[in-house]
Each structure stands twice: as C-alpha cells, then as structure tokens.
Amino acid sequence: MKSVSVAIVGFGKIAQDQHVSALNDNAAFTLDAVASRNASLEGVAHFRDIQTLLDERPDIQAISLCAPPQVRYRQARAAIAAGKHVMLEKPPGATLSEVEDLRAQAERAGVTLFATWHSRCAAGVAQAREWLSARRVTSVNVQWKEDVRRWHPGQEWIWEAGGLGVFDPGINALSIITAILPEPFFLTQGELEVPVNRQGPIAATLAFRDVHDADIRAEFDWRQTGSQTWDIHIETDAGPLSLTQGGSRLTIGDEVVLEGGDAEYPGLYARFAELIANGESDVDVTPLRHVADAFLLGQRVSVEAFNE
C-alpha cells in the first residue's frame, strides 16, 4: 500500500525527539513537510504556518499536530476542512468543547481524527489492563514527579491558561489509569499548588473514588530534581500490581513480568495508520475530563514564585 504523506505542524522538543524517528521508522508514512515558526528539519519542506502548508502542498494527506493546545483547535479545524487526516498530540485541545467539535467536523468531512495518549502505548500497559480486568481494585497510588526545567525548558505556554501546568505530564498518568482500571472513577477532592507568578499549577494532589469505593490517589509535581518518578501502584484482591518507569516496567506481586523499551510513539503511528486504513477515528477525552474536574473542584493554593 502506498505510504501516507504527512506533515508535522509545530516542531518543538517532542516533535523533534519523538515524532520524527517514529515516522521515519513506519513504512505507512512519509514525512514530507514541517510547519513551524521557529524550527525546520533538514531535507524536508518547511513552511511558516499551517495555512501556507495547506495552500502550497495539497498533496499532503495527514497532519501530525504538535503545536501547543491553545492554538490547536484552529489548526486542526483548517486541516480537517482541507480534507486531511489529523493526529493530535496530548492534550488534544485546550478545552473539552473544542475537541468534541473537532470530532464532529472530522466525521462530517470523512477524515480520521486521532486524539493520542502516548503513555497508553508504554510497554506494560496492555498486559496490566488485561490482568486487572479480572480483579477487584482496592487502592491506587500514583506518583508522577519530574523536573519542568528538564522537559519544558523556556516553554511559557505550559503555564498559561489552557497549557495545564503540571497536568501536562500528569495527564499521562491519568491516561494510563483510565485505560487499565476496570471501573470508572471520579474526583472527590484536590489541591492545586499555583506559583504566585504563574497561571498553571506546579503541583497537584488528587483523590478519587471508583464505583466500588476504591481509594485512588495521585500526586503530580514539577519540582523534582535528580531521578524522575513515573510510578503507579495498585492493590487488588489478588495482590499488588505496579507500573513504573512511565509504564514500561510491569511488576505483579514480587515478579517483574515485563520490562520494555520506548514503544510509545511508534505505537501511536501504528494506530494512526490503522485508523486511516479503516476510515475510523479515535477520540477519547476521558483523561482531559479528569483534568477539567480537577480545575473545577480542586482548591487552589498559592505558593512561592517559580522561575526557570
């Protein structure tokens, strides 16, 4: 089958570090263009913005949208109107309403829309979901702590409205637990720590309950230095399960049953190719809905100013 011609729109750190290699390693796609105000890729056509790309390269069939969420709705809308398949980096938009409208537009246009959650493609996630499906969860403890200076150097958009603050990484943990837990769960209380010079939180502590009253707690923090922590520990009626190292290491009981490499972005592009081939879309906003609930229900606490 002929490969799909794809362009990356928004060429920041994640696009450069993850998307390019995943595309180059997938025979279903050919990376033919980049649209970005600030960066380009040697040997690939470059455009300053998405509209110029769409006007000058009608042969492009798909857009991988990696721009900040605050501008993503208009870009995705333009791409869909031009008949392009669209893959959205996480989070899929600044608001739930935007993403729902994009879903409707894609359906009317007959194109694929894929709202991605890369952490769901981590090596241990699928097996964890399968094992938990036959168990009763009694408690969950999520520790997702990293250094914002290391992962988002100089990226002011993450602190602004719609940028999510610490939920930018925290939503990765939420994307995993919404995928693996056998029952839906709901926020009961939360605390968001917001630096006095920022709009977005730098840390958050959340408490959830599922339909069986299991205690689910999550701690997100962007101030951690040294080793980074991306761990999920789950107690069940059949013993404990842990997903650590961002979901790439699965432990059941005392046994490490799987320890895989970095499969996240290759997994996303494999799924995108499948959706395009089948004429389908995949738009799950559940992780973003939990973040919206946290902003709605969580208590905001001011903390000292933060500067990189």
Q: Which residues are catalytic?
A: 90
Distance CA 42, CA 20 (A): 12
The helices-and-strands tally (H runs, E runs) of the chain is: 10, 15
Is the omega angle on the peptide bond into residue 91 within 30 degrees of 0, that is, cis? Answer: yes
Residues 6+ positions from 274 with CB-CB distance below 8 Å: none
User: How many other CB atoms sit within 10 Å of the CB of residue 254?
Assistant: 7
Determine what percent of the chain falls in helix, strand and coil, rounding each to the nearest 5. 35, 30, 35
Q: How far apart are the first and last CA of the chain?
A: 47
Query: What would you measure as the largest C-alpha separation in the chain, in angstroms?
Result: 59
**C-alpha distances in angstroms, 174 versus 85, 122, 147, 214?**
26, 13, 18, 16
Burial of 147 (0-12, 13-18, 19+ CB in 10 A): middle
C-beta of residue 118 within 8 angstroms of C-beta of residue 173: no
